[in-house]
Structure 1
Amino acid sequence: MPLASSPSTSKRLLTLLSLLQSRRDWPAPVLAARLEVSARTVRRDIERLRELDYAIDATRGPDGGYRLEAGSTLPPLLFDDEQVIALTLALRTAGSLGAGVEEAAERALGTVSRLMPARLAHRVASLAHTSSRTGAVQADPAVLLRIGESILDTEELRFDYASPDASDAPHPPPVRSVQPHHLLLHGGRWYLLGYSPADADWRIFRVDRITPRSHNGRRFSPQHVPGGDPARFLAARFKGSTGADDWPCRGEALLHAPLAEIAPYLGDGTVESVAPDRCRVRVGSWSWGGLAAELCRFTVALSDVEPAELRAALSSLSERAAAGAATADASG
């Protein structure tokens, strides 16, 4: 039975390489059948790939075959659509690794973007609207791409949102509709930052809780996030602030301990030494009660506490702690 007309040598080599990357072992007759060429042509194509520094071993056995192995250099690779999307996401979030690979990742991303097929270029381009913070991606890439496409096309996004308290509600939660503006990675999770016309305000949604619905085709005009920096806006919301990226409650106190005993455990705050056994700490929190508890993490004496709201919160915390201890004594 004559073989069908074979594709050009270059196209056939790319197809052969893609097959070799897809599984470990390929019997020679199977490769010949997949490529619709003779076994002799397969052998010649294998030799051409070896000349391009691909390490391909011949396998023994009744049929004989080939196996793609790791070589001394990294030759050109082929990726399917899902691999391209995964690679793009990984490169865009490389800055979160803290390993000094940001510049190399940006160059690699540029190479991938220039070479990817046109059918993927539009979808992957939408991922340019991301901003990375520390953490790992915990969202469905298909949902990320869907949101990214809506951002790129300035099209309202309709979706179901699995709120933590939704199971206790007497009725199913309504379908959300927002104007999506940014995808951001913060603390190990992806978030959608969008403007809600119904609420006349900006809203933040966890992407892993979003189930997109069909697009309604309604376009919108992009707006500027308050403050101009989406990442700082998101960070401010997590701190309980509706304005700048800062804690809404800030205070300071003199801790009766050396700076070396306090600084390693301070976290988001500053400390300065004022004496060998004293240091001044300045910290922030989402509430005055939370700020008081932050200072009380350190089992040392406090003094010179400012402002008055923080002193009041410390007094309240002391009273509640004393009441809790008294209750425990009474029950004993």
Structure 2
Amino acid sequence: MTTDTPARLLTLLSLLQTPREWPGGELAGRLGVSRRTVRRDIERLREIGYPVQATKGADGGYRLVAGTAMPPLVLDDEEAVAIAVGLRAGAGHAVEGVDEASVRALAKLEQVLPSRLRHRVATLQAAVTPLTHGDGPGIAPETLTVMASTVAGRERLRFAYRAGDGTGTRRLTEPYRLVSTGQRWYLVAYDLDRDDWRTFRVDRVSEPFATGARFTPRELPTGNAAEYLRRSMQRRNDSYELVVAFAAPAETVAARLPGWLGPPEAVDDGSCVLRTTVSGSMEWMAVRLAMLGLDFRVREPEELVRRVRDLGQRMVRAAEAG
């Protein structure tokens, strides 16, 4: 019989998270308690936010259903390892959809993983070669999780940074947000030594260290980290002006564009234009635009027009060959 109520509740919750209906008698047998105790424990779970649905009948049954809020989950060893490996694989490259929220989830999970499970996660990831990689440089998941933890905890972050020309510096920052462009990760932070806001490419960061010193977040000039990153890119020498016309409503295009590119301007009900400044590989931008699944025409720059034309011709040849 399980006499420790917290331990019994965790065991009960673990059973209910299996997607099936559990008869009251079976739960009582698994826990070694009476059906009355099971009913009381079900009420305790409901009080702390777990939506447990009961069915009437000779034996009665219980099932965990979707609720209005996300309660904590109880994972067994195999589930925890599987989730950690999946989050690490996505975090290692700047994949759209695997953004700061995913990295924060990884940071929370790895914080509470027992050492034996952390070792299994690291071993499994090292033994697996992914079929595809992101276009941007790879990043150690540990670097992202340290950064995400300091962002969430409002904790000052110290790290070594290598600039584009190879110059190395040490930075002490108040981290604000991590932003993924789909090709690279960037950290938007207040640089205490330079007394100003800065953006840092995460693949150029090494030795990240959470200092433990808390801070009160400052107000970002643009109010939005993605917008600040976009404006920061406008000031860089490797940036270029991008003008793309879409044969689709502005709302439709905006829903498919990554936020850091900014919103398109509506021309009429069925078309819009995106005018922004970007940096990085034009070939990647050509592929990214094609992946939107919308009809578009690149107006500027001319080099990107050629890249899109070459990509289209290559795809046509590939289809004809097939």
Higher relative contact order (CA 8 A, sep 6+): 2
> TM-score range, shorter-chain basis?
0.3 to 0.5
State which structure, 1 or 2, has the greater radius of gyration over its C-alpha atoms. 1
* TM-score between both structures, scaled by the size of structure 1: 0.39
* TM-score between both structures, scaled by the size of structure 2: 0.41
